[in-house]
Amino acid sequence: MPQRIRTPPKALASSHKLGKASAATPALTPPTSSALEAQPASTSESPAATSPANCGSDEVNSHDGTGVFKLDSYLEPYAASLRGRYSYFRDWYNKLVQTEQSLDAFSRSYEKFGFNRTKTHIIYREWAPGAVTACLIGDFNGWDHRSHLMTKNPYGVWEIAIPHRPDGTPAIPHNTKVKISFTNADGVRFDRVPAWIKRVTQDLNVSPIYDSVYWDPPQAYVWKHPRPPKPTSLRVYEAHVGISTPEPRVGTYNEFTDVTLPYIKSLGYNTIQLMAVMEHAYYASFGYQVTNFFAASSRYGTPEDLKRLIDTAHGLGMTVLLDMVHSHASNNVLDGLNKFDGTDHCYFHEGPRGCHELWNSRLFNYGHHEVLRFLLSNLRFYMEEYQMDGFRFDGVTSMLYKHHGIATGFSGHYDEYFGGAVDEEAVGYLMLANYTLHQLYPDIITVAEDVSGMPALCRPVLEGGVGFDYRLGMATPDMWIKLLKEVRDDDWKMGDITHNLVNRRYQEKTIAYAESHDQALVGDKSLAFWLMDKEMYTNMSDLTERTPIIDRGMALHKLIRLITYGLGGEGYLNFEGNEFGHPEWLDFPREGNNSSFHYARRQFNLIEDKLLRYQYLRNWDAAMHHLESSHPWLASEHNWVSTKHEGDKVVAFERGDLLFIFNFHPTQSFTDYRIGTMWSAPHHIVLNSDAPEFFGHNRLDANQVYNTTPEPWNDRPNYVQVYIPARTCIVLHAK
């Protein structure tokens, strides 16, 4: 039976394990020192601002959250829940507009909080309601706890204005250490890294604890390139700066800029997703135990180095997404947010609700005014200061539900997405975040890492959705791993494979991937390793024979990636190194491996050696992307699966203006195999996995023309007859 790629909005099942978790608005003129001193930052209890006007206020208040019914009538029984969560968002929206002037101003609070320099002063503000006294200490004052005392307003905000020196230079020199020192009700003193600090550094010769640094370089970075247009076809290269070198050490921003960016561009990707940029004290956490939310990790270089990386990517026409971790925070006290003001909450929920039992981390109180200020401003900071193009939100499933997805399976029944298990405050925050970002940056891209399949997650907030642009297709890699681990090739079900790839929510965009960083971590295996681990260290040279294991592995690696790319979503993602079948897992230096960097690197040297077979998989990856660039099927509305033959192991589908044909059969090749097509013009090969540059057997003529016969076949008005060798895929274009 024919099958449309976009299925009706019914259950979306997934089995993925719960893992770790464009034009910008014009810059605001910073207020003068006296204005800052006279008007402390507003809070939830602050008097109403005199100018509550904000873009979109009438729009927000004219909706009730049930607009999503137009796309999904199955949601109608949950109207009360949808109205309730929209009402929660609307109430917060109106409250913030009233007390903070606008969402724009509120989300720019990094211009008030933390360290900000005016013409005459350095102004420092920090929210710490649980502290009794506070003072600023650092190299600039000899770490004196008496010289720079701070004052506290009724809303828990501490403040100090430090005048410049007589010669006009700031009293706190650039790149010198600072801290805030508190006392509690018992008179106990404790020092903390400022919550809004923009740089922290580590000197392992002194201590593993990170130091906070006042960062205010004399020469600000000058941006050279504007943000590129928002891509309609999202081809994402998921990358980690630190491992982007074959050498056993931490890579740098500058190395990534000079070496890795041109490589990514050459492959045909148009988007880079940067992991582990927000500072994390524990390198082995893969960046998911964030300690300092406004600080770009110093282990890779300076903030200016990161800006150069992003600027260079923009110059190459690539957008840059930041892996944004707002789902939880490190439980570090001395260099994190935990117990920041001496209490067990402050930015987090109090008691057990504020702790994630599996991740050993802290959970934000998304229902608090100042926490919203911190998180929304964090997003704006990276958009403005670093010119990011969007965010991939980590651990969204953990945010959406009070059970955080722990020991919970999602069958796809709508009852699972509404009711008491849903964390209304977290959903409200995500709606606020997406609405604010999309109002201020029309070309922004936001991606949700959600395994649950919550309905309307990727629909606009004004419809009643949560507002993301894409969700990650997290069930797909599980499907491939399960097949490779548990099912003989002869028993693969073509109908099951295609169903799993097309089973996504109608009109909610999905980013497809065959494997991401989750499948590369220590204890797991990449697809290449599942396919060829027995011979990857002995038979990946062209000087060795083509063994059945290598032949099968190379062939299936290509087929798996293209069918996922072709059917699985409206975007495609690859984790760096997987494009060429990286041979080893990823394991960061830690106590359990004697702090070794051996597996904390990507061996790009393997594709530089022309005697090794990794180059063929790299060639295939590039060919897929360049084909999608010239025939952008990801953004196409035309999608049709016409063939799913279980005995022959053949799948055929139309996507965009291309006809994809796959033969997964281990041994059987087919001559004059009939494939239905909507196009009557002659068909030509535009991609062929059997070509020698892709480690194929060169059994197909690249210049072959397939004439159509105007007779119906498999619900298509025409058909072509093709030769498709075993474990081969071809893509045809009619012209």
- Mean pLDDT, the chain, rounded, equals 91
49 C-beta neighbours (distance < 10 Å), count: 17
pLDDT score of 16? 29
Q: Looking at the structure, do residues 564 and 485 belong to the same domain, yes or no?
A: yes
Average pLDDT for 482-500: 96
- Rounded (10°) CA dihedral 9, 13, 16, 20: 50
Check whether 29 has a pLDDT greater than 50.
no
Q: Is 518 in the active site?
A: no
Q: Which tokens is 220 given?
A: 């600000």
Q: How many angstroms separate the CA atoms of 496 and 360, rounded? A: 37
Q: Is residue 457 part of a domain?
A: yes
- Residue 54: the pLDDT is 56
Do 332 and 384 fall into the same domain?
yes
- Tell me: do 289 and 394 sit in the same domain: yes
Active-site entry in 126, 159, 449, 463: 449
Return the SS3 of 551. helix
The interaxial angle of helices 494-502 and 475-486, nearest 10 deg, is 160
d(CA 484, CA 649): 16
- Per-residue model confidence (pLDDT) at position 44: 35
Smallest CA-to-CA distance from 41 within 139, 129, 144 is with: 129
Query: Which residues does 424 contact at the CB level (< 8 Å), separation at least 6?
Result: 84, 85, 88
Q: Which helix (H) or strand (E) holds 477?
A: helix 475-486
* 94 domain-assigned: no
Buried-state track 432-470, b at ≥16 Cβ within 10 A, e below 16: bbbbbbbbbbebbbbbbbbbbbbbbbbbbbbbbbbbbbb
Q: What percent of the chain clears pLDDT 70, i.e. is strictly above it?
A: 92
Q: Single out the residue in 630, 651, 680 at which a domain terminates.
A: 630
Concatenated DSSP letters of 623-665:
HHHHHHHHS--TT-S-EEEEEEETTTTEEEEEETTEEEEEE--
Q: Name the band, by pLDDT with cuts 50, 70 and 90, for residue 393.
A: very high
Assigned domain for 173 exists: no
Residue 9 has pLDDT above 90, yes or no: no
Whether residues 609 and 654 fall in one domain? no
- Distance from C-alpha of 3 to C-alpha of 6, rounded to nearest angstrom: 9
Q: Identify any residues that bridge with 55 across adjacent strands, giving them in sequence order.
A: none
User: pLDDT digits over 504-522, tens only?
Assistant: 999 999 999 999 888 878 7
- Give the position of tokens 């994402």: 236
Helix orientation angle between 369-385 and 424-440, rounded to the nearest 10 degrees: 30
Is residue 73 exposed (0-12), middle (13-18) or buried (19+ Cβ within 10 Å)?
exposed
By mean pLDDT, which of 34-43, 58-67, 212-221 is the weakest? 34-43
Same domain for 474 and 435: yes
pLDDT at position 387 over 80: yes
Closest CA to 429 of 398, 406, 399, 392: 399
Q: 79-100 and 424-440 helices cross at what angle (nearest 10)?
A: 60
**pLDDT (tens digit per residue) in 151-198:** 999 999 999 999 999 999 999 999 999 999 999 999 999 999 999 999
Q: Predicted confidence band at 547 (pLDDT cuts at 50, 70, 90)?
A: very high
Cβ neighbours of residue 563 closer than 8 Å, sequence gap 6 or more: 497, 501, 651, 660, 662, 729
Q: In this predicted structure, what is the pLDDT of residue 637?
A: 87
Q: Are residues 347 and 381 in the same domain?
A: yes
Least Cα distance to 604 among 587, 583, 585, 621 occurs for 583
Band (58; pLDDT cuts 50, 70, 90): confident
**In a shared domain, residues 254 and 274:** yes
Active site residue 545: no
Confidence (pLDDT) at 552: 98
Query: 619 and 663: one domain?
Result: no
Which residue out of 100, 323, 335, 394 is catalytically annotated? 394
User: What does the pLDDT look like over 334-364, one tens digit per residue?
Assistant: 999 999 999 999 999 999 999 999 999 999 9
If pLDDT is split at 50, 70 and 90, which confidence band does 524 have? Answer: confident
224, part of any domain:
no
Do 592 and 730 lie in one domain? The reply is no
Instruction: Name the nearest CA neighbour of 275 among 317, 236, 316.
Output: 236
Residue 227 has pLDDT above 50, yes or no: yes
pLDDT tens digits, one per residue of 86-112: 999 999 999 999 999 999 999 999 999
Q: Is the pLDDT assigned to residue 258 strictly greater than 50?
A: yes
Token readout for 61 is 């208040």
* CATH code of the domain in which 399 resides: 3.20.20.80
Pairing of strands 151-152, 157-163: antiparallel
DSSP string, 358-398: TTTEE-B-TTSHHHHHHHHHHHHHHHHHS---EEEETTHHH
Shared domain for 590 and 668, answered yes or no, is no
User: Looking at residues 21-45, what average pLDDT do you find?
Assistant: 32
Tokens coding 126: 């920090």
CA distances from 142 to 138, 179, 422 (A): 6, 12, 50
Residue 60 lies in a domain: no
Burial tier of 648 (Cβ tally within 10 Å: 0-12, 13-18, 19+): middle
Q: How far is CA 517 from the centre of its chain?
A: 11
Q: What is the structure's pLDDT at 7?
A: 31
**271-275 vs 200-203, strand pairing mode:** unpaired
How many independent structural domains does the chain possess? 2
485-488: long-range contacts at Cβ-Cβ below 8 A with a sequence spacing of 24 or more?
485/530
Domain shared by 336 and 455, yes or no:
yes
Residue 716: which domain range?
A: 639-734
Can you name the residues that pair with 115 across neighbouring β-strands? 124
Using an 8 Å Cβ cutoff, are 449 and 458 in contact?
Answer: no
3-state SS string over 71-108? CCHHHHHHHHHHHHHHHHHHHHHHHHHHHHCCHHHHCC
My answer on whether 500 and 381 are in the same domain is yes
In angstroms, how far is the first alpha carbon of the chain from the final one?
27
Q: How far is CA 534 from CA 202, 435, 684, in A?
A: 41, 50, 38
Position 347 in a domain: yes
Burial degree of 724 (CB within 10 A; 0-12, 13-18, 19+): buried
Evaluate whether residue 33 is within a structural domain: no
Residue 514, CA distances (Å) to 522, 528, 690 in order: 18, 11, 20
Q: What's the confidence (pLDDT) of residue 523?
A: 72
CATH code for position 661: 2.60.40.1180
Looking at 583, 598, 630, the residue that finishes a domain is: 630
Residue 25 within a domain: no
pLDDT > 80? residue 533: yes
Handedness of CA 377, 211, 135, 328 (dihedral sign): positive
Per-residue b/e over 340-353, b at no fewer than 16 CB within 10 Å?
Answer: bbbeebbbbbeeee
C-alpha 714: how far from chain center: 39
Looking at 607, 630, 653, the residue that finishes a domain is: 630
Q: Which two tokens stand for residue 714?
A: 């498999």
Which three-class secondary structure state does DSSP give residue 468? coil
Strands 728-734 and 683-688 turn out to be antiparallel
Q: Check: CB of residue 416 under 8 Å from CB of residue 13.
A: no
Share of the chain above pLDDT 90, in %: 88
The pLDDT value recorded for residue 6 is 31
How far is residue 457's CA from residue 139's CA, in Å, rounded to a whole number? 47
